[in-house]
Amino acid sequence: MEKLYIGVDLGGTNIAAGIVDLNGNIYCKKSVRTNLPKPEAELEQDIYNLCKSLCEENGYDISNDIISVGIGSPGSVDGKRGIVWSNVNFGYENWRIKENLEKLFGISVYVENDANAAIIAEVMAGNAKGCDNALIVTLGTGVGGGAFLNGQIYAGYNYAGLEVGHIVIEKDGRLCNCGRKGCFERYASASALTRDTQAAMNAHPESLLWKLCPDIEKANAKIAFDAMEKGDKVATEVVNTYIEYLACGLVNLINIFQPEVVCLGGGVSNQQQALLDLLQPLIDKEDFARNARERTKIVIAKFRNDAGIIGAAMVGVNND
Amino acid sequence: MEKLYIGVDLGGTNIAAGIVDLNGNIYCKKSVRTNLPKPEAELEQDIYNLCKSLCEENGYDISNDIISVGIGSPGSVDGKRGIVWSNVNFGYENWRIKENLEKLFGISVYVENDANAAIIAEVMAGNAKGCDNALIVTLGTGVGGGAFLNGQIYAGYNYAGLEVGHIVIEKDGRLCNCGRKGCFERYASASALTRDTQAAMNAHPESLLWKLCPDIEKANAKIAFDAMEKGDKVATEVVNTYIEYLACGLVNLINIFQPEVVCLGGGVSNQQQALLDLLQPLIDKEDFARNARERTKIVIAKFRNDAGIIGAAMVGVNND
């Protein structure tokens, strides 16, 4: 029988759990509302109940069929000791989630920061499979990151590292929520691309963007790519500027880490090969090791919508 | 008797060797001209001869008194296998320095990139002693870096990582030798500070800088700090702008790595506490983890002029 793991994507809005195999296939999944705020013990019981009913409804028995449970949590997480140090969504400090959940589950439980879980999934079964050195950069609401270095998760001394969205690439540039000016994520997140698209629409009533998206409030990170493909000049400029900033921040990360692979995740990465084709020439020009015999490859992350569940399950795989 | 190691600082101009103890004390040292170009075997013999005469002149015997030989080399170095992949100064490729030198020395030889050797020295016996996660950032001709992460050197997949001077902090800014525009080292290296000081002198004939340094060609990274201390407005502006850019790049690195310690080395770090006092308030404002319970400390690297020799020796200590 396949080795099976439970992955739990612990979000502020929903808790999603799935039964996952070594290759990252999801056999079944289920979710419930998180319904915060609530005490830690109650949330732990919710997680257990969700996993228990997921198993029961699908004919699995936790103690006999599941090897371990992995939890992907936002916040700063000490994966080795299984403690969520702090998590602003939940309002917990020093949450001994591994210890507490192992009492409920009766099998091994592992926890990691969700971005770290995502790179573990790519390294274990995704598009960075087998790499000892790989990064994931997610282009979503913000720009997030996770790093697998020398064959291990790198989280930083205080488990708060890899805030790759908060490196300044344009000194005194756009004001960021973090208080700095010119952070990478102010230019390269899906939200930034959406805002820039909306600004271009307001400045250019003639743009095809309006045809694709008559309600400007509904603009997203996709329409500029769509309009560009149809030859719209305004959209082409929006995308090209976006790509320039994205390449700038990515080359910064490449020059620092020189990983074997950088996986791109998050909404913008849905553009897949079109995104890579635009990015690669700029990276080829600026990568400090562009003449080295081995170079970093930029790829799209394999795990998409269920990346949270699969990543969490792979935290368990990685620890087994 | 003290455990003793030989450290060899292999430069394009000089080869310097020293006998070093576990605490980073140098017992004796000696150097010769590198005299490039020459074949690998000849350079290897030069290294061996230098170490042999260093020992003989000081009453040591390599096979009995020395535990290992460490080499700090520029270029991309595979420390695990003891190979210098490529080194533009020497013109070698795939230089199997460990294997070849062990035949000459008859004891263990280890090799690392020189920036990696520097952070090993700080972690083993310097101002990041005992840290599992620490960086060194050298503010010299360029801006260089070395990283010790999760208790190991991190060199990157292709041994070309940690080019921390080549992260863009001002998009489309000053042109860098690497081909990018706005690299950290164009603003934060000792050379950049010198150039900015000279530009300020040319623009301000009234500045005290001219009194401290009547020959503008002899301006260095120190005089702006000296003139600032004496109340010179022009120098104060030069230094404040320099510190702003330095803090910007350092916070980028902190937000990525969140190491326990960042050691500052290179010429500018000779300003010691004065430099730290200027930097810290800017870092306190922008560090993403400024409210975390544990925060990165910025310190001056302990090992100064002989950092190359001590670092190289410590590569051996770290491998024992």
Query: What is the rounded distance in angstroms from the CA atom of residue A3 to the CA atom of residue A313?
Result: 11
* Residues of A with Cβ-Cβ distance to B132 under 8 angstroms: 157
What pLDDT score was predicted for residue B91?
84
Please tell me if residue A136 touches chain B, with a CB cutoff of 8 Å: no
Q: Which positions ≥6 away from B223 have C-beta within 8 Å?
A: B197, B209, B212, B213, B235
Q: B158–A293: do the CB atoms touch at under 8 Å?
A: yes
Task: From residue B121, give the alpha-carbon distance in Å to each of A127, B19, B136, B157, B179.
Answer: 36, 14, 10, 22, 32
**Which chain B residue is nearest to residue A293, measuring alpha carbons?**
B158
pLDDT at residue B50 is higher than 80: yes
Q: B256–A161: do the CB atoms touch at under 8 Å?
A: yes
Whether the CA torsion B94, B100, B102, B104 is positive or negative: it is negative
C-alpha dihedral, B24 to B26 to B30 to B35, nearest 10°: 10
What pLDDT score was predicted for residue B88?
73
The residue-averaged pLDDT of B121-128 equals 97
Candidates B152, B154, B167: best to mutate against A (most CBs of A within 10 A) is B167
If you search the block for the tokens 């010429």, which residue do you land on?
Answer: B267
What pLDDT score was predicted for residue A93?
87
What pLDDT score was predicted for residue B93?
87
Burial class from Cβ neighbours inside 10 Å (0-12, 13-18, 19+) for residue B67 reads middle
User: What phi, psi does B213 have (nearest 5°)?
Assistant: -150, 80
- pTM for the whole structure: 0.96
**Nearest CA of chain B to the CA of A40: how many Å?**
21
For chain B, positions 11-40, list CB contacts with chain A under 8 A.
Answer: none
What pLDDT score was predicted for residue A2?
86
Whether the CA torsion A194, A200, A201, A206 is positive or negative: it is negative
**Nearest CA of chain A to the CA of B86: how many Å?**
9
Secondary-structure percent of chain B, ordered helix, strand, coil, rounded to 5: 40, 25, 35
If you search the block for the tokens 């939200």, which residue do you land on?
Answer: A191
Residue B175 token pair: 């042109």
Please tell me if residue B293 touches chain A, with a CB cutoff of 8 Å: yes
Number of H helices, E strands in chain A: 11, 13
What pLDDT score was predicted for residue B138?
96
Please tell me if residue A163 touches chain B, with a CB cutoff of 8 Å: yes
**Nearest CA of chain B to the CA of A47: how many Å?**
27
The ranges assigned to domains in chain B are 4-125+313-319, 134-300
**Nearest CA of chain B to the CA of A95: how many Å?**
15
Q: In terms of DSSP bridges, do strands B14-21 and B26-33 run parallel, antiparallel, or are they unpaired?
A: antiparallel
The residue-averaged pLDDT of B109-135 equals 96
Q: Tell me the ipTM for this assembly.
A: 0.95
What are the pLDDT digits (tens) for B6-44?
Answer: 999 999 899 999 999 999 999 999 999 999 999 999 999
Q: What is the DSSP letter of B95?
A: E
pLDDT along chain A (320 residues), means of 10: 93 95 96 95 97 98 97 93 86 93 98 95 97 97 96 95 97 96 98 98 98 97 97 98 98 98 97 98 96 94 94 91
Q: Which strands sit side by side in the sheet containing A92-95, from one edge to the other?
A: A76-78, A83-87, A92-95
Is B4-125+313-319 CATH 3.30.420.40? yes
If you search the block for the tokens 């994931």, which residue do you land on?
Answer: A136
What pLDDT score was predicted for residue A214?
97
Secondary structure class of B33 (helix, strand, coil): strand
The interaxial angle of helices B40-57 and B97-105, nearest 10 deg, is 40
Residue B235 · residue B227 · CB < 8 Å: yes
Please tell me if residue B319 touches chain A, with a CB cutoff of 8 Å: no
Which residue has better confidence, A320 or B221? Answer: B221
What pLDDT score was predicted for residue B122?
97
User: What phi, psi does A193 have (nearest 5°)?
Assistant: -60, -40
Q: B152–A150: do the CB atoms touch at under 8 Å?
A: yes
**Nearest CA of chain A to the CA of B238: how many Å?**
17
Q: What is the DSSP letter of B61?
A: -
Residue A220 CB neighbour total at 10 angstroms: 15
If you search the block for the tokens 């082409």, which residue do you land on?
Answer: A236
Query: What is the rounded distance in angstroms from the CA atom of residue A23 to the CA atom of residue A169?
Result: 37
Whether the CA torsion A174, A239, A235, A142 is positive or negative: it is negative
Q: A288–B257: do the CB atoms touch at under 8 Å?
A: no
Burial class from Cβ neighbours inside 10 Å (0-12, 13-18, 19+) for residue B98 reads buried
At the fourth CATH level, the homologous superfamily of domain A134-300 is ATPase, nucleotide binding domain (3.30.420.40)
Which residue has better confidence, B170 or A292? Answer: B170
Q: What does the DSSP assignment read for A154-208?
A: ---TTS----GGGSBSBTT-SB-TTS-BSBTHHHHSHHHHHHHHHHHHHH-TTST
Q: C-alpha B145: how far from its chain's center? A: 7
Fold of A4-125+306-319: Nucleotidyltransferase; domain 5 (3.30.420)
Residue B85 · residue B159 · CB < 8 Å: yes
Query: What is the rounded distance in angstroms from the CA atom of residue B71 to the CA atom of residue B82?
Result: 10
Task: From residue B8, give the alpha-carbon distance in Å to each of A223, B50, B137, B157, B318.
Answer: 58, 9, 21, 25, 15
What pLDDT score was predicted for residue A305?
84
Please tell me if residue B167 touches chain A, with a CB cutoff of 8 Å: yes
